Amino acid sequence: VDTFSAQSPALILQLSDLLSYILYEKDESWVPLQKEFDIVHSYINLEEKSFKNSVIFKVKFPEVTKSKFIVPFLLLSIVESCFEYFLNTGQHQPILTLICELNENVLHFRIKFSKGQSIIAQKDIDDIFINVQKQLHTQYPGVHYWEAAEDMETIAINLKLPLYQHYVISTKKSEAINVLSKSL
């Protein structure tokens, strides 16, 4: 009980940040990349507590994200789908590795997570991420790269997509797609 009491303020703050992000960013077309990274990190920390600190995870985000923008909830949706998968497959010690890198205006997002032993673990990868793929096709049509692969123990997602800059956001979306598709 004392451990929970000591952690309570930090958990409440993380939950507050997550709820604030959901409430205030849901209507935005773009958010700063750093804001999306921060919320993903907070979400992972909250989920780790719900798994009683048994999640084995490694997270690496780039240090410099200034003036880079992304569609809100995209990365969060991918991570959320992974944790939902952990619950559905009954994993008690799931493993998650998340590495994000920037190359100019392109985000390279790689996530690898444990499959688990249950029959549900054999579920088609596309089913796990169907909503994410719909979001990508709607908001990054023709300018993203998505690859999903699996082996006996893990599922790996490899995503590349353009990051928008402030001046691009103010232009028409069709013009932005033409400009950014050349950088992929």
Dihedral over Cα of 70, 50, 46, 24: its sign? positive
In this model, does residue 141 exceed pLDDT 50?
A: yes
pLDDT of residue 4: 53
pLDDT of residue 74: 93
**Chain mean position to CA 92:** 21
| Residue 180 dihedral angles phi and psi, to the nearest 5° | -80, -25
Percent of the chain residues past pLDDT 70, beyond the cut: 76
6 contacts 34 by C-beta, under 8 angstroms: no
d(CA 82, CA 114): 9
In this model, does residue 90 exceed pLDDT 60?
A: yes
pLDDT of residue 134: 93
Q: Which of 95, 111, 117, 127 is nearest to 160 (CA)?
A: 111
pLDDT of residue 33: 93
pLDDT of residue 172: 42
Stretch 120-146: mean pLDDT, rounded? 85
DSSP 118-159: SGGGGS-HHHHTHHHHHHHHHHSTTS-EEEEEE-SSEEEEEE
Helices (H), strands (E): how many in the chain?
7, 7
Stretch 10-34: mean pLDDT, rounded? 75
Stretch 40-47: mean pLDDT, rounded? 89
| Most confident range, picked from 26-40, 113-127, 162-176 | 26-40
